[in-house]
Amino acid sequence: MVGVVNATPDSFSDRGDRSTAGSIRQVEQHMADGADIIEVGGESNVTNRPAVSVEVELERVIPVVEAAVERGATVSIDTYKPAVADGALAAGAAIVNDISGSESGAMLEVCAARDAWMVVMHTEVAPKTQRWDEDLYPDGITVRQVEFFAARLERLERAGIPADRVVLDPGPDFGKTPRQTVESLRGIPRLLDFGCPVMLAVSRKDFIGAITGRRPSERSAGTLAALAAGLDLGATVLRVHDVAATVDFLKVREALRGESDVPAGLRIGEDIRRETPAGERAGEPLG
């Protein structure tokens, strides 16, 4: 599971402390909650904010990457800028999540030279831009994604990045209407034919907000529903903001599917069985 840390003041989905210290605390919380990978990003993809410079992005992410590595985390850097990726990899990151669709030859050179894993995301638009066009995929979005990933994997292989170091991301919301995003996620089984893990980067995304009418901070239930569907379709890498809730979701899902044991003697603890009534102090009944 990938826990997202947005080390940027204008994140669309996080309203917490986005300072360096706050981001490092979030790293620690994600790790305590059970994240396997920490993904650090230093530039929001919101379209109503200008891009930040390489220098600013590095200033935001490097201390957080270093802190996460120091605490034993596997770290992914979320960036489309080769210089930022290079700096983060030099600081100990092992994965580059490139939302530009991995088109840049310079990015591929950096990742190959550093033996990095890459998350290759499908997109037909440049970073920090949006395009809602119902006619963009005349043959269907899954057909287009299969063509896209086949071409990208061939290019990565030529650059020295083999398919066994690649994760595919259908790219929810990126150059996609809500309907197209849903269609792309339904096409996950076709993407599995490439033999690469498929990432579910659906946490708090716009398509969930469009379907539910909820703001980013209110999209937890919709996120879990999207994760459930994506897992059933074969995706295996979960990229989430709320690690603790996702861990709980997975525990219950695995128990119900018979993938984990529920011991015969398991009982709920009295300390968590009920909420304390409002106004009642610990150990004292209401008067």
Catalytic residues: 205, 239
Separation CA 216–CA 138 (nearest Å) = 30
Task: Tell me if residue 80 falls in helix, strand or coil.
Answer: coil
Beta bridge partners of 200: 238
CA distances from 231 to 123, 164, 192, 249, 253 (A): 22, 20, 12, 12, 10
Q: What are phi and psi of 250, to 5 degrees?
A: -65, -40
Q: Are 115 and 87 in contact (CB under 8 A)?
A: no
Separation CA 86–CA 75 (nearest Å) = 13
The encoded tokens of residue 225 equal 């529903």
β strands within the chain, DSSP E: 2-6, 37-41, 74-78, 95-98, 117-121, 166-169, 199-200, 237-240
Q: How far apart are the first and last CA of the chain?
A: 47
